[in-house]
Amino acid sequence: MGYRVAVVGATGNVGREMLNILDERQFPVTEVTALASKRSAGKQVSFGDKTLTVKELDGFDFTGYDFALFSAGGSISAKYGPIAASQGCIVIDNSSHYRMDPDVPLIVPEVNPEAAAGYTKKNIIANPNCSTAQMVVALKPLHDVAKIKRVVVSTYQSVSGAGNDAMDELFNQTKGMFVHDEPSPEKFTKQIAFNVIPHIDMFMDDRYTKEEWKMVVETKKIIDPAIKLTATCVRVPTFVGHAESINIEFENELSADQARDILREAPGIMVIDNPDENGYVTPVECVGDYATFISRIRDDATVDNGLNLWCVSDNLRKGAALNTVQIAELVGREYLKKAA
């Protein structure tokens, strides 16, 4: 016995990773269905050594499916999520649409697995923003020991987080620069090749971006509403892998050495922190991995109980597809209990 799983947005960056990860982790499935827009109906996508023929989402009947893993954008989740949920299927949604809904748990399995029990209210569970997901995996074990007061985070986010077209834009712009044929920005607001852009998602009334706001409110919902956080989110010309510079101020004493020891034991974390041998992780080195890598852990002498660290993870994996599959594993194991 296994689960019937539908992947919504199966032709996209994250959807394809969901299929890879379901296969890699041998998620117990009896059936996997790939769904996307009408444009993609009939196309083939890989699922391990098999191929699946993509079906059209519109009109699809989710009855009898255990999980629908959505990654086709917020408006698709808003329209089709409740349909799948009302047909008895547990929706695990990668968009931002349901994250702050008080009746929808927002889950990172290493951090707040117990909150998943609330899925029964709407049959929907939300997956956090990619930058939040990797950060909270690192913050939680430190918060448990020394209580975080305040976090200042700056992100260096790859273009894959903005979808397939955004990756094409970086590729074509970079190529174009060498032949003096620079395509104008479409997906991004400014040139992304050989540049960095401090603008991800829309600007809000307070002049922060929505991406920055998401990091604030999602961290509070997942770990602790008392944590103060301020963020600057920046798009950089890398294809996959998000990096973050994180400054943390704690209530209680915590040295860099202690933090290194705590993080070495923490689930989902890999500490690589040996500056003498260039022992730190960069985005290209994390691609395809499950771990969130922590490097450059340093005491911040400018405040009481402060630390700086560098955090890198594959945004399509821990930031999206892996976390989604881990949530399905958690719900399967704790609540549905169908054996493989």
Which residue numbers belong to the known binding site for phosphate? 99
37 counts as binding ligand A2P under rule CB under 6 A: yes
DSSP code for 320: I
Query: What is the spatial distance between Cα 113 and Cα 104, in angstroms, rounded to a whole number?
Result: 13
- Strands 269-271, 3-8: parallel, antiparallel or unpaired by DSSP? unpaired
Query: What is the spatial distance between Cα 257 and Cα 173, in angstroms, rounded to a whole number?
Result: 43
Distance of CA 117 to the CA centre of its chain: 21
57 counts as binding ligand A2P under rule CB under 6 A: yes
135 counts as binding ligand A2P under rule CB under 6 A: no
- Closest contact distance (angstroms) between CB of 287 and ligand A2P is 16
Among 6, 21, 32, 36, binds ligand A2P (CB under 6 A): 36
Asked if residues 133 and 319 have their Cβ atoms less than 8 Å apart, the reply is yes
127 counts as binding ligand A2P under rule CB under 6 A: no
Query: What is the spatial distance between Cα 311 and Cα 273, in angstroms, rounded to a whole number?
Result: 11
Which span (33-41, 89-97, 99-107, 278-286) binds ligand A2P, by CB under 6 A? Answer: 33-41
Catalytic-labelled residue, pool 143, 242, 286, 311: 242
Three-state DSSP class for 266?
coil
Residue (35 or 222) nearer to ligand A2P, CB: 35
Tokens of 80: 């089709």
Three-state DSSP class for 232?
strand
68 counts as binding ligand A2P under rule CB under 6 A: no
201 counts as binding ligand A2P under rule CB under 6 A: no
13 counts as binding ligand A2P under rule CB under 6 A: yes
Our answer to whether residue 143 is catalytic in this structure is no
157 counts as binding ligand A2P under rule CB under 6 A: no
- Closest contact distance (angstroms) between CB of 8 and ligand A2P is 6
Phi, psi of 166 (to 5 degrees): -70, -35
Query: What is the spatial distance between Cα 156 and Cα 47, in angstroms, rounded to a whole number?
Result: 31
Interface of this chain with ligand A2P, residues 214 to 273, rule: CB under 6 A: none
Query: What is the spatial distance between Cα 85 and Cα 82, in angstroms, rounded to a whole number?
Result: 5
Three-state DSSP class for 215?
helix
| Range list of H helices, 147-265 | 164-178, 210-222, 256-265
- Closest contact distance (angstroms) between CB of 101 and ligand A2P is 21
Size of residue set near ligand A2P by CB under 6 A: 17
Tokens of 40: 């993609």
81 counts as binding ligand A2P under rule CB under 6 A: no
Among 39, 228, 333, 338, binds ligand A2P (CB under 6 A): 39
9 counts as binding ligand A2P under rule CB under 6 A: yes
Interface of this chain with ligand A2P, residues 158 to 177, rule: CB under 6 A: 163-165
Which span (72-80, 118-126, 137-145, 287-295) binds ligand A2P, by CB under 6 A? Answer: 72-80
Our answer to whether residue 130 is catalytic in this structure is yes
Residue (161 or 306) nearer to ligand A2P, CB: 161
Identify which of 221, 220, 195, 199 has the alpha carbon closest to the alpha carbon of residue 210: 199
Which DSSP helix (H) or strand (E) runs through 204? none
| Residues annotated in a binding site | 11-14, 39-40, 99, 157, 160-161, 235, 315
Q: Which residues bind ligand A2P (CB under 6 A)?
A: 9-13, 15, 36-37, 39-40, 57, 72-73, 76, 163-165
So which residues are the catalytic ones? 130, 242
